[in-house]
Amino acid sequence: MARKPRLHFPGAVYHVTLHGNGNQPVFIDATDRTRFLLLIQEGIEKFGHKVHAYCLLTDHISLVVEVDEVPLSRIMQQLGFRYTRWFNDWHHQAGHLFQGRYKAILISPEDYLLPLVREVHLAPVRAGIESGPMRYPWSSNLAYCGREVVLWLSTDRAMLQIEETGIRALMKFHAYVNDGSATSATVDFNRGSELDPRILGAEDFVRGVMKLSRQKYRPKVNPEKVFRIVLERYKLTEEELAAPGKNRYHAEARAYLAWLYLETGCATMTALGDRLGRDVSSLSSAVRRLQLKAKKDEKVAEKYQKLLNRVRR
């Protein structure tokens, strides 16, 4: 399946993660981490984005980035390239340092910025590296709590959600992060919502993101609804649809069902194959045959369109 395009608009806030290739270390010593932070600062000066939080673990990196006009892809490509080149030269190594592309989840900052900053700061605790976030020197937690100064770090937007000022805000933030270490994370910031895996936020936020990114929003379709519509159209039970054999009527129903799965993205073909007891390859072949037939037979195309319209109502 083709990768969905990156989402970009000025003001978008992302949780970005970079992992070492094959889980290899991306930082060996303090010099590496210091260089990486310097490269972040240089990128901010060049591209005009903001970094709201960071945590540099041995084998991966977490960042909270708010972009301006320059898209995240350009920012991260330059950061990853420059650091990889420096790391390989410094440690006399060669090859890829990071595991493929970075991963980015666009978040609703009003709902998730402060909790995300907390989880980024709790990463060393969750990983069992330190007993408390204040003990880890390579995250932005110390700067948020007033223990060090990182001039390029943007803390204002997250701290505004603390609803205190001055020393009281620092104390409240410190308590907020520490309280989080006593419980499991309530939100998985490494994945998006059911509405769109690239975006973490309510449906109104997802709609707004798609509009700002000039992409078409298609609400998540419930696969049970798709199943029900096809079964009703063909007057079949699920047991009949999944029954073994080469009944052409049943095979046609399965082909339309698989085509609807692909079109709506309601679930994976693997999930459909498991439910029907069919190989993914056979379902995919049936869809291709049906699509080719629809190009020549208006009745086939019309039947599919009617089913799709019912699904999207």
In this predicted structure, what is the pLDDT of residue 54? Answer: 98
Determine how many CB atoms are found less than 10 A away from the CB of residue 301.
15
**Starting from the edge strand earliest in sequence, which strands make up the sheet with 199-200, in order?**
50-56, 60-66, 13-19, 103-107, 199-200
Cα separation values, 159 from 52, 104, 113, 116, Å: 10, 23, 10, 12
In this predicted structure, what is the pLDDT of residue 280? Answer: 87
What three-state secondary structure class fits 67? coil
In this predicted structure, what is the pLDDT of residue 182? Answer: 85
* HSE (side-chain half, CA atoms, 13 Å) at 285: 6
Report the alpha-carbon distance of residue 135 to residue 214 in Å, rounded. Answer: 43
Of 195, 234, 230, 231, nearest in space to 215 by CA: 195
pLDDT in tens, the chain (313 residues): 445 667 899 999 999 999 999 889 999 999 999 999 999 999 999 999 999 999 999 999 999 999 999 999 999 999 999 999 999 999 999 889 998 889 999 999 999 999 999 999 999 999 999 999 999 999 999 999 999 999 999 999 999 999 888 999 999 999 999 999 888 888 999 988 877 889 999 988 988 988 888 766 566 688 899 999 999 999 999 999 999 888 999 999 999 999 998 888 788 888 899 999 998 888 988 998 999 999 899 999 999 999 998 988 7
In this predicted structure, what is the pLDDT of residue 216? Answer: 62
Kindly report the length of the chain.
313
Report the alpha-carbon distance of residue 87 to residue 143 in Å, rounded. Answer: 26
State in Å, rounded, how far the first CA of the chain is from the last one.
Answer: 25
In this predicted structure, what is the pLDDT of residue 3? Answer: 56
In this predicted structure, what is the pLDDT of residue 2? Answer: 46
Report the alpha-carbon distance of residue 78 to residue 83 in Å, rounded. Answer: 8
Q: What is the pTM of this model?
A: 0.71
Residues near 242 by beta carbon (within 8 Å), at least 6 away in sequence: 275, 276, 277, 278
Of 243, 237, 252, nearest in space to 300 by CA: 252
User: Which residues sit opposite 65 in a β-bridge?
Assistant: 14, 51
Residue holding tokens 């976030």?
Answer: 133
- Spell out the domains of the chain, with CATH numbers in brackets: 13-212 (3.30.70.1290), 223-312 (1.10.1750.10)
